[in-house]
Copies of this chain bind each other. A is one copy, B any other.
Amino acid sequence: MPKSLVNQKWLYTQRPSGEVGPEHYRLVEEDLAEHLAENEVLVANRYISVDPYMRIQQSESESWEAPHPLNQLQQAGVVGQVIASSNKHFATGDWVAAYTGWEKFSRVHANDLEKLDPEKAPVTTALGVLGMPGRTAWFGLMEAGRLQPGDTVVVSGAAGAVGSLVAQFAQRAGCKVIAFAGSPEKCRWLEESLKVDQAIDYTAFNDYQALHHFLKTQGVSVDIYFDNVGGMISDAVIPLINRRARIIICGQMSQYNGKLDEVEMGPRFLHHMLYQRATIQGILARDYAHRMDEMMAKVAPWVKDGSIIFEEAIEEGFNRLPNHLASLFSRTTRGKLIVKIEE
């Protein structure tokens, strides 16, 4: 193990009441202990994940777990290289993925590391198409969604890490895809690169009624609504569900900047569930972690042969990690946001 290694880590220090930014974080330095415990591995992080769910954990309310503790390392998925190891399965230079946090180096028990093979797929895919976002899209559609060829699949946040994969998985299964995104540029990308049947910039509509009216005049009816956003998109889409529609909730990004604590009002819609005998199901990627082999068997070959587009926005700037998190909510990011750490 290298001596006198100084770690840098981002501590989450203050709950945002609205938008998250640098003022809610503090960058600190820390000497790393010199000796590894048995089966401990020291990882130099190369790629750090920045994900919308992080903002959920900053709510003062419970989510799937207690709120992210203050003055602690911001938890995150990372991809890095082993620089020291006291476990025989990991050697210096190995690429690995782990769930540690926004820090330059991580000490991890070997059991909590996943070894990556850079020959099989770019290592960054472990944070995207072959990681948490991919798993969310895959099992959300296949399990909760019970996808059938010919279904009309409506997806919100379609230019994002999860949504862009939902759109493509659905297309490959023979579905019609209607994709929502938050800018004309994203919609152009969805139609030109992802070749979705229709991309809709919801920010072009004043309210959910206008959007609903537009969808209705277009004859949109929905078998699967894969929702990562909520808010006005859901308000407009849910009344258009078909008999036995499946609504999958993998996120509610429209609510994260404050509305999880101060509840937002929206139109009641549960009567539509009754009329159509429809289902809403909330899903988290972690619940399918034990079934990654199933997904890898299908999706890894598509990554290898280039038949799936997995956009990665790889940004420089460990020192600007909180700004990168904020950027997820500013409607500019496309695909999976990853921050690269310079060696």
Interface on A for B, CB 8 Å cutoff? 56, 62-64, 227, 230-231, 234, 249-252, 255, 259-260, 263-268, 270-284, 287
Contacts and interface: CB of A to CB of B under 8 A. Distances in A.
Given A230-B271, A260-B271, A277 B284 contact: yes
A255 B279 CA distance: 20
Contact of A251 (B268, B274, B283): B274
B279 A287 contact: no
Most chain B CB neighbours (cut-off 10 Å) among A227, A234, A274, A281: A274
B265 A274 contact: no
A277 B260 CA distance: 17
A266 B267 CA distance: 6
Sorted nearest first, the 3 A-B pairs with minimum C-beta distance are A273-B282, A274-B282, A280-B280
Contact of A275 (B64, B267, B271, B273): B64
A227 B270 contact: yes
A277 B270 contact: no
Given A278-B282, A279-B282, 12 more contacts: A63-B271, A64-B276, A64-B277, A227-B270, A234-B270, A250-B274, A255-B271, A263-B268, A274-B282, A277-B284, A277-B287, A280-B280
A291 to B, nearest CB: 14
A283 B274 contact: yes
A268 B268 contact: no
A67 to B, nearest CB: 12
A283 to B, nearest CB: 6
Contact of A283 (B56, B255, B277, B282): B277
Contacts of A277: 64, 281-284, 287
A333 B10 CA distance: 61
A276 B267 CA distance: 22
Contacts of A64: 274-277
A271 B250 CA distance: 9
A276 B278 CA distance: 19
Contacts of A230: 268, 270-271
B268 A264 contact: yes
Given A227-B270, A268-B255, A280-B280, A275 B63 contact: yes
Contacts of A265: 265-268
Contacts of A276: 64, 282
